[in-house]
Structures are given as structure tokens and as C-alpha cells.
């Protein structure tokens, strides 16, 4: 993984590796050291967005302080430097995902835009009447709605793949639903509401037997365990920078090079053309053909710094730590009377979505916030997954590499207080 020297626009040699401890990670992340409502912050909303290490913040500052320029045009030094940094970012994403070449990576605003790109470009050209798109019930709305829209236009069908009672994807039902009609299977590499990690490699191999393509939504996966798109044999893979310690507004699509070559542009304008005339316009080669307009250049500097920060740690050690923290949290939460945890026990990430009898999820989040603990409440953009449990909302604590057992203990102490006495630790206000 290369590190950008954004000021000089030059990639640097790979950074030194660091031994992983959650404390080492925490020390790098300034916001984790603030207080909220008078208590030290416990950030358990990592599924929504992760906090940023100073290395990422500094990369953004350095870009704007010393290196800001548009890219791919302008014959001056800073344009060349910014272009080099941007393309180094592309190469770093390719390496991070195990992709065969930087040209197989398209920068997008995030997962949502990447999926819409595939739906609008590949889907429009390849779906038609009688075709099926298989979509597991646990998908995020970003991996349901774009398929519903393009299916409606092309008269294809979106076919839900059911879940087992524990929130895993029903593999027997999946095998039964696959057929010669299946053109595409989409699946999350990790669910943002149930934590489920489906057997994506096996699902992909099965889909390929029917000559179907497979899109994997990696939004909740990439921060938690190493990903190799070549090993998965995925045709498309998407992720969002902000869920992997990078800024918002930047993300990436990996597409198998042979497929990307066949895809028509989606958005059009500057940057994506080779030549324009009123008689004939030709398009730039991939991946630039899919990057119309000025991209999030500083976002790429931040993404590069984030990937470099994360991969400097031993990824296997990070994954092991998160797995043991998740198991610890599952056991600790089981002490809270009546608390129901959704999702499978194993084969999961540290997304802990739960309900408490007699407590609305919004109330739980509000009470925890009073104790400085940030969790999310609502439908988590995965209404069909919650409906599988007969719910329309739930509370969710989601873990990251910088969370600790002490933080889980604080969550559980507050929930116990709420479950037992009906209020959390928040000091009573004079009016109450
Ligand atoms: N897919 C999954 C599994 C997600 O968790 C999210 C974000 N919650 C998305 C897609 C959409 O990501 P973004 O909003 O960054 O485009």
C-alpha cells in the first residue's frame, strides 16, 4: 500500500507496520477523546459512519494547504501532482481489494452511487423481460431500490432470497431460486442490521454456474476483515470510504475488467470523454469513462491515508480482536433482562441490533446518549430485514477496531439501569 505525500503529490514507500491494539488505534482518533453530555464518548455507531484518525484529517489538510488542484487536465506541476495522488489512490484501492488492476476501480461517492452505476449501466443493457435479480431479504435499501427501479424499466423481476429464523441467508432457498433466468445476484458481504456474513464465495460460485453475475455490497465488510475480490470471484464489489475511517463522499466500485469494458457510461460530461463534436462524441477508456465531472479529489487523499492507516495494522489481528469483542458484547448484553439480539450467533460482524421490552428504540438511543453512548435507532435502511423479525425499528450498537470491553461494559450498565429502573444514569433534571 502506498502512502501519498500529498504536498508533493508523490507516492511514498509503504509505511511501517504497527502492532495492533485497540488503544493504539484509539490514540490516533481525536474525536474519541471528547465528552458527550458530561461523559467520555462511547462511539458505537460505526455501522453508520466511522471516526477518523488524525492521519486522515492531516491528509485532507495537507491536500488543501499545499497540493490543491484539479486533475487529469492542466499542464502544470500541481495538476500533475494531484493526478498522481489520485491515481495512486486508485492503485491502493485495487491492492486493498485484491483487484487485478487499478483500471478495474471506479471512484464513486460511496456504495449507493456504485450500486446505482451498475444498475443504470450494466443493468439497463443486460436485464430484460423474464430475467431475475436475486436479492437477499437482509440487504440495505441501497442494494434493493436501484434493482427495483431498473427491473421495473426493463421488465425484469426482483426476487427476494429469504432468511432463516436466525437471520442468515437461507442457502437452500437460494439454490432453489437460482435458474437460467437469473441474470444477477446481489448480496451484502456483511449485513448492517443483522451482522450476518453470508457465504459470499460459495454463493458466487453457485451463481456463476447459471452464468449469473454477482454484485457484493462490501460497505459493512471492508473495515472488519480482509477482502479479496479475486478470491471471491465477484463481478462487482462496492464500498464507502466513510465506513472505513475515510471521509464521506468517496467510495469505490470494483468491476471485473472484461465486464467494465462492455459497460456504457452512466453520467456524462467532462472528464469522461475522449473527444466531443456535434457529429460524434467518443468516450475515455475505463475507468475514467465512469467518472464524469470533478471527483472528490481530497476524498481520495483521505481514503488513501485511511487505507494506509488500517493496513499498517495486522489485519488478521484486527479481525480476531473484533470477533472476540463481538462475542464479549453478545454475552454481556445477554445479562440485560428481556434484551433480544437479532442476527446469527456466529459468522457475523460486531453489529448488535436489539430490542428491549417496553422501550421504544428511539427512547433507548436517547437514554444511552444521556450517558455519552452513541447508538442508532430506527429501521437502519433495512426494513425487510427488520420485518423478518416482525419489527419496524430496533436499536443498534456497532463496533469498530477502536472499541473496548470497558465501552461494552458501559453500554451494558446503562441498558441494565434502563431495563431495571426505567431510566439510565442521566442525572435527574430539576423539573423531573
Ligand atoms: N450497504 C450497506 C450494507 C450499508 O451499511 C450502507 C450504509 N449504511 C450502504 C449500503 C450505503 O452506503 P452509503 O450511504 O455510504 O452509500
pLDDT digits (tens, 9 = 90+) for 325-356: 999 999 999 999 999 999 999 999 999 999 99
Average pLDDT over residues 416-428: 69
Q: Among 16-25, 101-110, 191-200, 215-224, where is mean pLDDT lowest?
A: 16-25
pTM of the model: 0.94
Q: Which residues pair with 236 in a beta bridge?
A: 215, 255
Pick the CATH number of 77-310 from 3.40.640.10, 3.40.50.1370, 1.10.3720.10, 3.40.50.720: 3.40.640.10
Angle of CA points 294, 223, 189, to nearest 5°: 95
Ligand 1: centre distance to CA 238 (Å): 10
Which residue's CA is the nearest one to ligand 1's atom 8?
A: 48
Is the fold of 40-48+314-419 the same as that of 77-310? no
Cβ count near 110 (within 10 Å): 23
Which atom, in ligand 1's list, is nearest to the CA of 139? Answer: 3
335 dihedral zone (left: phi>0; alpha: psi -120 to 50; beta): alpha
Tell me the catalytic residues.
Answer: 381
Higher pLDDT, 268 or 18: 268
Average pLDDT over residues 50-71: 98
| Domain residue ranges of the chain, discontinuous segments joined by + | 40-48+314-419, 77-310
Average pLDDT over residues 201-217: 98
CATH of domain 40-48+314-419: 3.90.1150.10
pLDDT digits (tens, 9 = 90+) for 350-386: 999 999 999 999 999 999 999 999 999 999 999 999 9
> What is the structure's pLDDT at 16?
61
Which atom, in ligand 1's list, is nearest to the CA of 113? Answer: 16
* Cis amide prior to 8 (ω within 30 degrees): no
Amino acid at each position: 500500500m502506498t502512502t501519498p505525500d500529498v504536498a508533493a503529490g508523490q507516492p511514498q514507500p509503504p509505511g511501517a507496520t504497527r502492532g495492533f491494539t485497540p488503544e493504539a488505534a484509539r490514540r490516533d482518533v481525536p474525536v474519541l477523546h471528547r465528552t458527550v453530555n458530561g461523559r467520555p464518548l462511547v462511539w458505537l455507531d460505526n455501522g453508520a459512519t466511522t471516526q477518523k484518525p488524525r492521519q486522515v484529517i492531516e491528509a485532507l489538510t495537507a491536500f488543501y494547504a499545499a497540493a490543491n488542484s484539479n486533475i487529469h487536465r492542466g499542464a502544470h506541476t500541481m495538476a500533475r501532482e494531484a493526478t498522481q495522488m489520485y491515481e495512486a489512490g486508485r492503485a491502493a484501492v485495487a491492492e486493498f481489494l485484491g483487484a487485478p488492476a487499478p483500471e478495474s476501480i471506479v471512484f464513486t461517492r460511496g456504495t449507493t452511487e456504485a450500486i446505482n452505476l451498475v444498475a443504470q449501466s450494466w443493468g439497463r443493457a443486460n436485464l430484460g423481460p423474464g430475467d431475475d435479480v436475486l436479492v437477499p431479504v437482509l440487504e440495505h435499501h441501497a442494494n434493493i431500490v436501484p434493482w427495483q427501479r431498473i427491473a421495473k424499466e426493463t421488465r425484469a423481476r426482483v426476487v427476494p432470497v429469504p432468511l432463516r429464523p436466525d437471520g442468515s441467508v437461507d442457502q437452500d432457498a437460494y439454490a432453489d431460486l437460482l435458474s437460467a433466468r437469473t441474470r444477477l445476484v446481489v448480496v451484502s458481504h456483511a449485513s448492517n442490521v443483522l451482522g450476518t456474513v453470508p457465504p459470499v464465495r460459495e454463493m458466487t460460485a453457485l451463481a456463476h454456474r447459471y452464468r449469473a453475475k454477482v454484485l457484493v455490497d462490501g460497505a459493512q465488510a471492508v473495515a472488519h476483515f480482509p477482502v479479496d475480490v479475486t478470491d471471491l470471484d465477484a463481478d462487482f464489489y462496492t464500498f464507502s470510504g466513510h465506513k472505513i475511517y475515510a471521509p464521506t463522499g468517496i467510495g469505490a466500485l470494483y468491476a471485473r475488467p472484461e465486464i467494465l469494458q462492455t459497460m456504457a457510461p452512466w453520467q456524462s460530461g467532462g472528464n469522461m470523454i475522449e473527444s466531443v463534436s456535434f457529429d460524434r462524441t467518443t468516450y475515455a477508456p475505463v475507468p475514467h469513462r465512469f467518472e464524469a465531472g470533478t471527483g472528490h479529489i481530497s476524498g481520495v487523499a483521505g481514503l488513501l491515508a485511511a487505507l494506509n492507516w488500517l493496513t499498517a495494522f495486522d489485519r488478521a489481528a484486527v479481525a480476531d480482536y473484533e470477533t472476540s469483542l463481538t462475542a464479549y458484547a453478545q454475552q454481556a448484553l445477554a445479562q440485560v433482562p428481556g434484551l433480544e439480539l437479532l442476527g446469527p450467533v456466529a459468522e457475523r460482524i460486531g453489529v448488535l441490533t436489539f430490542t428491549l421490552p417496553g422501550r421504544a428504540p428511539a427512547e433507548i438511543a436517547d437514554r444511552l446518549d444521556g450517558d455519552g453512548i452513541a447508538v442508532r435507532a430506527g429501521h437502519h435502511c433495512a426494513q425487510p430485514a427488520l420485518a423478518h423479525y416482525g419489527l419496524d425499528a430496533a436499536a443498534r450498537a456497532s463496533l469498530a477496531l477502536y472499541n473496548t470491553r470497558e465501552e461494552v461494559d458501559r453500554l451494558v450498565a446503562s441498558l441494565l439501569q434502563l431495563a431495571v429502573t426505567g431510566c439510565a444514569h442521566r442525572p435527574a433534571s430539576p423539573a423531573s
